[in-house]
C-alpha cells in the first residue's frame, strides 16, 4: 500500500463500549464528528505508526493498534483510509484546538445521530448491521 496517499481512523473504545469522537474545527468538515484520524506521513513506516502518532497529536493519548477493521475510499486529502481498533494505554485527553473543538464518547447508535464525516457514517452503519465486528 502506498502510504503517501493513505490515511487512518482510530476507534478508541471505553469500558462502556462507547467510542471517542472529535468535532472537527478545520474548514472542510467544520462541525462534523469523526474518530481521531489523519494522513500517513513520510516519517511513518507503517499504518500502525500513523495510528499512534495521529492519536497522540490530536488527543494526547497513547494507544496500541489492535487490528485493521476496514479500508475504504477517503473523504478528503488522501485516496484511501483504514479504520483501526486500538487499545488505550495512557494519557489524559487534551484536544489540539487546531483540529478539534469538542470531544465525546458515543455508542454506535448515538454516533449515527451526529453529523459525521461521510466515511465515518458508512463505517458505523456497517458496524450496526454486523458487517464489521468491533
> Tell me, what's the pLDDT at 51?
98
Q: Class of the 3-128 domain? A: alpha beta
> Tell me, what's the pLDDT at 17?
93
Listed by start position, the domains of the chain span 3-128
Q: Which residues contact 32 (CB under 8 A, 6 or more apart)?
A: 23, 24, 115, 116, 117
Residue 85 CA: distances (Å) to CA of 8, 25, 65, 68, 126: 11, 24, 6, 6, 15
Task: Supply the pTM of this predicted model.
Answer: 0.93
Out of 8-22, 27-41, 62-76, 85-99, which region has the weakest mean confidence (pLDDT)? 27-41
Amino acid at each position: 500500500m502506498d502510504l503517501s496517499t493513505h490515511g487512518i481512523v482510530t476507534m478508541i473504545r471505553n469500558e462502556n463500549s462507547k467510542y471517542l469522537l472529535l468535532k472537527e474545527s478545520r474548514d472542510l468538515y467544520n462541525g462534523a464528528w469523526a474518530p481521531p484520524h489523519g494522513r500517513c506521513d513520510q516519517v511513518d513506516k507503517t499504518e500502525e505508526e500513523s495510528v499512534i502518532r495521529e492519536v497522540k497529536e490530536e488527543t494526547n493519548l497513547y494507544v496500541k493498534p489492535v487490528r485493521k477493521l476496514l479500508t475504504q475510499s477517503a473523504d478528503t486529502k488522501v485516496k484511501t483510509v483504514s479504520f483501526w481498533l486500538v487499545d488505550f494505554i495512557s494519557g489524559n485527553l487534551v484536544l489540539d484546538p487546531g483540529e478539534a473543538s469538542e470531544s465525546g464518547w458515543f455508542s454506535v447508535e448515538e454516533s449515527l445521530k451526529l453529523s459525521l464525516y461521510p466515511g465515518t457514517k458508512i463505517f458505523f452503519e456497517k458496524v450496526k448491521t454486523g458487517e464489521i465486528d468491533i
